[in-house]
Chain A
Amino acid sequence: MINKIVQSMADALAGIKDGSTVLIGGFGSVGQPDALIEALIEQGATNLTCVANNAGTGRVGLAKLMELGRVRKIICSFPRSANSVVFEELYKAGKIELEIVPQGTMAERMRAAGAGIPAFYTATAQGTLLARGKEEREFDGRLYIMERALRADVALIEAWEADRWGNLTYKDSGRNFNPVMAMAADTTIAQVQHIRELGELDPERVVTPGLYVQRVVQVDRGAPWV
């Protein structure tokens, strides 16, 4: 019997090694696996490369992980948000490496990794500072740059429902980066609001089939998220 549902956060995060590349889902606070990030802080892995749209806010979650000195490098599209105090401090002090990636290129690099595509060409960022060092090539009269796939050891994602095969549904704009991150990691760990019986999820509503998911843990966010 396939059963990817684990009963504790420790089991969910077990085995993450120092030096891992970790994808962290969510856009703003929506679809962001807060409980898994807290559990990663507890778990202790360090020297991490983290991939997330933002570079953390306040002093909790990803920002706390960074403040504890556990993140060597962050790959993101929008490091400067309203309250990204920890990142700003670390960056100014030269204590964290930053790779800034256009948001669509970031999503596509992970989708490509999941689809077995090592690199692709895009017009995004062509001719800008973010094209530096990248191969440029002309197709049909337009210039494109080559971007490499972005594969990771671990993805921490949030979904709405899961069954024991790891099939996932999402809620509203909570989908965002989560499905592409699920595709791009060796070990995808999903925090979900609801566990359903196998067969209970409408196959038409499953966005991430369970083959992309290794572990599922239920986290009830409580009101108003239910």
Chain B
Amino acid sequence: MPYSRAEMAARAAADIPEGWVVNLGIGMPTAIADHVPLEREVIFQSENGVIGMGPAPAPDAVNPWLINAGKQAITLRPGGSYVHHADSFAMIRGGHIDLCVLGGFEVAENGDLANWATSENDSAPAVGGAMDLGAGAKRLWVIMDHSTKDGRPKLVPECGYPLTALRAVTRVYTNLGVFDVTPRGFVVVDLAPGVTLEQAQAASAAKLHTST
């Protein structure tokens, strides 16, 4: 059985150690935080200048002045702090973020990421902070479905869509498994329960290597 969305998020969350400063992209990556217990002190940073995000507030305790980069209401945990946008991106671009997890349209076997525009003539592509995070975070992971809704593979030899960051992705979490980006290309870390290497390979345009 391929991983569900929640299982994908939980699988990625399991690999984040205490002490890391982590930025999670909008959408699927945001859910990863729900699977990191508060006792494991991971510091979540948001582009709009929030360091130390906590869980979502109770409906009757929403602070309208406090949102994350996805414009959702959040809380600040004890130890948290605020900075302005240039300082927030100084920590991102200056290599002070241990990990960024983004969504993706395509990841290439050399670590290239495409996740912001689907063609050069996109009606209005929206880049947000993805290029800053892709170039600046110490590690870049991607969490995404293994294939598009119409069955096209998203692990590819070379990205067809416009690039977000070059040679930046080091690991990919999909509904079929976990894959490292290495000098050899994609290497299988593990597969979702019951998913075979042949099934994962059939859903990929790039070659999947095994570590042995």
Contacts from A to B (Cβ < 8 Å): 27-31, 55, 77-81, 84, 87-88, 91-92, 98, 100-105, 107-108, 110-111, 122-130, 170-180, 207, 224-225
Contact = CB atoms under 8 A, between A and B. Distances in A.
B85 A173 contact: no
A175 B82 contact: yes
A102 B132 contact: yes
B57 interface: no
Contacts, number: 148
Looking at chain B's contact residues, the main secondary structure is loop
24 contacts: A28-B48, A30-B48, A30-B64, A30-B66, A30-B67, A81-B126, A104-B47, A104-B88, A104-B131, A107-B84, A108-B89, A111-B86, A124-B131, A126-B135, A129-B120, A173-B49, A173-B50, A173-B65, A173-B66, A175-B82, A175-B83, A175-B85, A176-B49, A177-B85
A174 B84 CA distance: 9
B67 A28 contact: yes
Given A103-B89, A123-B135, A79 B166 contact: no
A103 B128 contact: yes
Contact of B162 (A91, A92, A123, A128): A128
Interface residues of B, number: 44
Given A129-B117, A180-B85, A224 B48 contact: no
Interface of B: 46-50, 62-67, 69, 71, 76, 82-86, 88-90, 92-93, 117, 120, 123-132, 134-136, 162-166
Contacts of B117: 129
B63 to A, nearest CB: 6
Contacts of B47: 103-104
A128 B131 contact: yes
Contacts of B88: 104, 107
A177 B132 contact: no
Nearest to B74: A173
A32 to B, nearest CB: 11
A171 B137 CA distance: 27
Given A125-B135, A127-B166, A207 B64 contact: no
A87 B124 contact: yes
Given A80-B126, A128-B163, A172 B131 contact: no
A173 B82 CA distance: 7
